[in-house]
Structure 1
């Protein structure tokens, strides 16, 4: 079991001096890995679809109004997640990513706990997410945190849609 005390989660931009390049690097890694897993690998960010390149080039604009949370180990940015602004009592978790070099240290769990806390603070009743069906480890983590599979709101094939009420705070594993 991992000790979450070594991981801190901060909102970006915020008082912690995280450079846009650090957030962009996490998003780049997320998108490159996702495209490769979908069987559409690209060599670098220039080969990504326009919508993803826009997130990487200017995450502040791409996620304006949303909460970008970044996990830190010491001063190193090692993970990120985006919590969308509320709509109809719901928010969505997107772009959950942990640098593979730092996996197994509770970073994704810490990011999800912070996401749920943030959603509750802003009055969101339900948090939802979608995950590719081949990401079985992520699905298992979401289930441990109380997310359940729900009817799909996304027409893309191979996506699993999940949701969870924000009440009750984080679920400890």
Structure 2
């Protein structure tokens, strides 16, 4: 077995993100992969819907009121998840993505744990998320973290809504 460098997880206020943090690259991979999974494969960021392009072009603006939990291996950002500020006691996590080169090392679990910890520190009494039904690995990860399936708040076909109290 080879030694793997440690991965550190930290929370960064969206308004404090910098262009050099590598988040845009992770968001690009996330959105291009997600569109392909939905059967809407696009070749570049320019072909993505406006809302996704704006996240990629300026994560600092897109997530200004949110917190981004990032995983770093050395100086490289290798994973992220966005945690929204609580509204009526609930935060939401979204955009969980781990670079394929570090998958299988517990990075996604560490990001979810970091997101839950941040939400609790921010006063959220519950955390919710939506995940595409075909992402069985992600659903299993969320269930291991204590999320359960709840009635959907999103009308899009194929989404599973989950909540952690």
TM-score by length of 1: 0.88
What SS does structure 1 have at the residue aligned with 2:137?
Answer: helix
Matches of 1:88 and 1:113, distance apart in 2: 21
Matches of 2:82 and 2:13, distance apart in 1: 12
Cα shift at 1:73: 1.2
Corresponding position of 1:86: 86
Corresponding position of 1:108: 108
CA offsets per residue over residues 37-62 of structure 1, 9 Å max, x none? 00000001111000000001111111
Structure 2: stretches of 5+ with no match in the other structure:
none
User: Structure 1: which 4+ aligned runs deviate by more than 3 Å?
Assistant: 16-21
Cα shift at 1:28: 0.5
Corresponding position of 2:70: 70
Does the 8 Å CA contact 2:17/2:59 hold for their aligned counterparts?
A: no
Corresponding position of 1:6: 6
Matches of 2:48 and 2:17, distance apart in 1: 28
- Cα distance change of structure 1 residues 127 and 13 upon mapping to structure 2, 3 Å threshold: closer
Q: Are 2:116 and 1:119 aligned?
A: no
Matches of 2:125 and 2:141, distance apart in 1: 20
CA offsets per residue over residues 53-104 of structure 1, 9 Å max, x none? 0001111111111001110111111000000111000000000000111100
Corresponding position of 1:56: 56
More moved, 20-29 vs 148-157: 20-29
- Cα distance change of structure 1 residues 18 and 58 upon mapping to structure 2, 3 Å threshold: closer
Cα shift at 1:12: 3.1
Does the 8 Å CA contact 1:30/1:95 hold for their aligned counterparts?
A: yes
Does the 8 Å CA contact 1:24/1:56 hold for their aligned counterparts?
A: yes
Q: Are 2:44 and 1:44 aligned?
A: yes
What SS does structure 1 have at the residue aligned with 2:22?
Answer: helix
Matches of 2:88 and 2:36, distance apart in 1: 34
Cα shift at 1:11: 2.5
Question: Aligned-pair RMSD on alpha carbons?
Answer: 2.1
Corresponding position of 1:168: none
TM-score by length of 2: 0.92
Corresponding position of 1:32: 32
Structure 1: stretches of 5+ with no match in the other structure:
166-173
Does the 8 Å CA contact 1:81/1:93 hold for their aligned counterparts?
A: yes
